[in-house]
Structure 1
Amino acid sequence: MFVEFLRHNKYASAILTFLRLYVGYEWLTAGYGKLTAGFEAGGFLKGAAAKAVGDHPAVQAWWADFLNSFAIPNVHLFEALIPWGETLVGLGLLLGCLTKSAAFFGMMMNFAFMLSGTTSTNPQLVLLSIFIIIAGHNAGRIGVDGLLHKYGKGLKFPHLPKRHAPQH
């Protein structure tokens, strides 16, 4: 019953819009700050890998292996992907454009940060993103997704020729 409310109720759409705007703002400001002020991920990645030791490690060994074998050697890739990923997720959520995809990729980044031993706002953003994803289209109804759904039904795409199966 609650899922139906999230997916179809117009009042839920309004509530979800506020949640979506909050989560989007958090992502956009984080990403924009990294894009404009510069971003260095090496220290964070090395610090996360170091948290995988001791009696009660904050980072699981398999994640530390990933960090040491892939992320740290390719730190420049992460220094580009993280700021742009955060910025694009933020824009998607703020505009209500590809809402479910933006929320999904935001959650993946949140989980990567949490797996690396940080908490901050990550659990809160994951929780709110779960509501956005469960709500589906209703979360983006007041946004670009809603406009595309409303006006996109009349779009006509050119007829593509049928493909024929290869003859043997």
Structure 2
Amino acid sequence: MFMDFIRHNKVVAGVLVFLRVYLGYHWIIGGLEKITGGFDASGFLQGAIASAGGEHPAVQGWWAAFLEGVALPNAGFFSFLVMWGELLVGIALILGIFTNFAALMGITMNFAFLFSGTVSTNGLMILLTIFILVAGHNAGRYGLDRWVIPFLKNHNRVKKDKGKKHVLPV
């Protein structure tokens, strides 16, 4: 019953607009600060790796191993992904275009930040993003998804029909 309510109710879709804009604003601000401030993730990554040691580690060993073996050697690439990922997730959420994908990418970044030992607003952002993900298409009802998703579905259907042989009934 709750799932049907959150996925189909138009009032809920209106509330989700506020959640989308709130989250989108925070993603855009974070991304713009990083882009204009010359963000380099290597210091953050080194700090996260260092937090994996000691008596009460803030970072799990498996995550620190990933950061040390994959992320740190490719810090420039990860810096690029974080800066532009935050900006693009924010824009997509505010415009309501590819809302579910943007929310999925946003929650992935939030979890990566949490795994790296940064609490900040990530917990709240994850909680709000879960509502957007659970709502599915309804989260983008009052956004560009209202037109883009049906267009893409129809376009895909037309492509599939072109490949089929149509036999007239006898």
Same structural fold, with TM-score higher than 0.5 when normalized by the shorter chain: yes
Cα distance in 2 for partners of 1:140, 1:116 equals 30
> 1:92 is aligned with what amino acid?
A
4+ residue segments displaced more than 2 Å: 147-163
Distance 1:149 1:73, change over 3 A: closer
Aligned residue runs from structure 1 range 39-118, under 5 A:
39-118=39-118
> 1:148 is aligned with what amino acid?
V
Contact preservation (8 Å) 2:97, 2:148 = no
Identity of aligned residues (%): 52
The Cα shift of 1:143 comes to 0.4
2:122 paired residue number: 122
The Cα shift of 1:162 comes to 5.5
Cα distance in 2 for partners of 1:107, 1:48 equals 19
* Equivalent pairs, count: 163
Distance 1:7 1:55, change over 3 A: same
The Cα shift of 1:161 comes to 4.3
Cα distance in 2 for partners of 1:66, 1:151 equals 40
Indicate the SS of the match to 1:74.
Answer: helix
The Cα shift of 1:160 comes to 4.0
The Cα shift of 1:148 comes to 2.6
Cα distance in 1 for partners of 2:154, 2:66 equals 47
Cα distance in 2 for partners of 1:77, 1:153 equals 33
- Root-mean-square deviation (Å): 1.9
Contact preservation (8 Å) 2:28, 2:89 = yes
1:144 paired residue number: 144
Structure 2: gaps spanning 5 or more residues: 166-170
1:19 paired residue number: 19
Structure 1: gaps spanning 5 or more residues: 164-168
